[in-house]
Each structure stands twice: as structure tokens, then as C-alpha cells.
Amino acid sequence: MITILGLFTLTFLAVAAVATVHSRNLFVASMWFGIFSLMMASNFFILDAADVALTEAAVGAGVSTVLFMGALSLTAGHEHVQEKFSWAPLAVLTVLFAVLFAASFDQPLLGDPMAPVHQHVAPFYLSETPKQIGIPNVVTAVLASFRGYDTLGEVLVVFTAGIGVLSVLSFRPKKQQRLSGEVMAEKVRGVQHHTVLRVVGKLIIPVLMLFGLLVQFHGKYSPGGGFSAGALFAAAVMLYGILEGADRSAKAMPQDWMLRLAALGATLYTGVGIACMLLGGTFLDYNVLSTNPMDGQYLGILLIEFGVGLTVTTVLIMIFNAIANRSTY
């Protein structure tokens, strides 16, 4: 049964990819992107990668689709068709595909028990997590403790990406490109005239927030963590903006405060590492945060996961507000 389900999801992934490439309607292509991400999340669940699946579903199928829709509201609905065909991109992609396809034969087969990762890396994490970290979720132990440096880098990448997007969107269009006041008023009004959508949507928002809290603070015992929880919190705010209008969303979550909180989250993560050094340990060595090393690990992971969730949430909200409240491209 699992094999049949896996073949179905992989086949649907291929169909979604081909449909996305061939679609000239950008709205349809965006919907196919969301379907592709949802199928990819299902595939991760089949492979028992629940943490990755949760993040893919929240970010890929949820938040990214909303941001695509926001970007499309500022541009044309169809892709510009070039009059003459260019062979250069096709040649580059063909060579790249050939190289990647040839390199794939050097990788171990999927699920091969003799793969190098199953000989020493995975056994180390599985055996040492209960002894050194003391939490049931091995994935959280790996991401937040064993390879905390990498996760810190990912948080800084998210923060930098948010600053980059805001910098690009800060360029104002020419006056003749701006939308009229009537069009902008209609644009930010949201779906206030759709009663059913507003009622159902307002019921979903608190559920999203509560589920985000569960994912944030229960990630040491079940799939979750700061990245997926941050995407869920941001999705709740985006849903509020869609229902009530982008202007209300921006007033509830001002950009200057979101920027400060995003920086605070990354600073909190870095500050935990510095605190570990001041207490006589190494950078991000949580054992020194308490007299009991297990309690120190628990406290350190709790703090850095909070920083991750804070940065991810605020960066996604900043991008949404910047796109939703922009008059045109």
C-alpha cells in the first residue's frame, strides 16, 4: 500500500511539474506550485520525515501560495510570450540535467541499509540523543543541538532574505504606474463582502495559532519546531489580512515592529551561544546553562527555537505586508 501511494505521489509530482512549465496563465501555474508542494509534503510523510513534511506543507503549499497571489495582484495574469525561440537556455538546462543525472548514479539507493549515512552518522544520533540531549525527538536534537551552527546560519539566511525582499520592494514605481485610489481601496478591502469566507476564516485563525503554539513548544516530543511554527503563525496573520484587508493587517503588525522582532529572534539565538561561552562552555554548548546538563539542553533548545520561530514569523509577515500594501510592481 505504501509503495502504491508513493508511486501515486511521485506521478502526480511529475504531472504538476509539467503542468506548471506549460501553463501560460500565472495564476494556474501558482496553483500547480501549491499542489506540487502539497504532494511533496505527502511524499515526505510517506518517508517518515514528518518534521520536513510539516514545514513543506506550511511554507510551500500555504505561505508561498499566498505570496504568489500577492505578487500576481501587482502584475499581469499571463506570461509574456517571446516572439523568437532562444536555444541558449535549453542547451544550458540540457547539459545541467545530464550532469545531475550522471551524478545521481554515485548516490546510494534510496533506503539502502549499507549507505554510509546508516553506518556511523545515524547510529550516533540515535544512540547519543537520549544520553546527551535527553529529548525524544531526534530531529529536534540534531537541528537544535548537534548541528546548532547550521540552524543558526539558516536563521540568519531567513533574516537576510527578508531584508533583501524589503529592499527590492522599497523601490517605488513611477507615478504613471501607480493604481488609482479607488482601485487601491478595492484591493485592500479583502473579502469583506463574502460572509461565508469571513465566518469560516475567522474560525480557522485561532486554530492555526493554537496549532502553531503546539508545534513551537512541543517540538521536542513530536514533529515541529520554530521553522514550521513560524510559518503557521504567519499563515494565521496572512489569513487575517485576506479576510479583513491588507491595511488592517499592516496596522495590527507594523513593519517597523516586525523588523525589530525579526532581529530580536536572530539575536536571541546568537545570544544563547555567547551566554554558553561566558559560562565556560563552547558556543551553543547548552550543558553549561544549568547544573544538570539535560536541563541545560532543554533550556537552550527552548530559547533558540523561540528565536527561530520569532524570526521566521516576522520575516514572512513583513514580506506579506510589503507585497499586499504595494500599489503596483
Question: Which range among 51-55, 74-78, 246-250, 282-286 shows the weakest confidence by mean pLDDT?
Answer: 74-78
Q: Quick one: pLDDT at residue 85?
A: 74
Q: Quick one: pLDDT at residue 188?
A: 47
- Tally of CB atoms within 10 A around 312: 31
pLDDT 10s digits, 161-170: 999 988 888 7
Question: Which range among 4-8, 68-72, 82-86 shows the weakest confidence by mean pLDDT?
Answer: 82-86
Whether pLDDT at 181 is above 50: no
Whether pLDDT at 275 is above 80: yes
- Alpha-carbon gap, residue 233 to 205, rounded angstroms: 9
Q: Quick one: pLDDT at residue 160?
A: 94
Answer whether 0.85 is exceeded by the pTM. no
**Structural domain contains residue 257:** yes
- Alpha-carbon gap, residue 56 to 71, rounded angstroms: 20
**Structural domain contains residue 228:** yes
**Structural domain contains residue 264:** yes
For the ranges 51-55, 66-70, 178-182, 302-306, the one whose mean pLDDT is highest = 302-306
**Structural domain contains residue 194:** yes
pLDDT 10s digits, 97-107: 999 999 988 88
| Nearest CA-CA partner of 258 in 237, 227, 279 | 237
pLDDT bucket at 329, cuts 50 / 70 / 90: very low
Q: Quick one: pLDDT at residue 98?
A: 96
Residue 245 belongs to domain spanning = 136-329
234 grid coordinates: 504567519
Whether pLDDT at 121 is above 60: yes
**Structural domain contains residue 326:** yes
Question: What is residue 110's three-state secondary structure?
Answer: coil
- Tell me how many domains the chain contains: 1
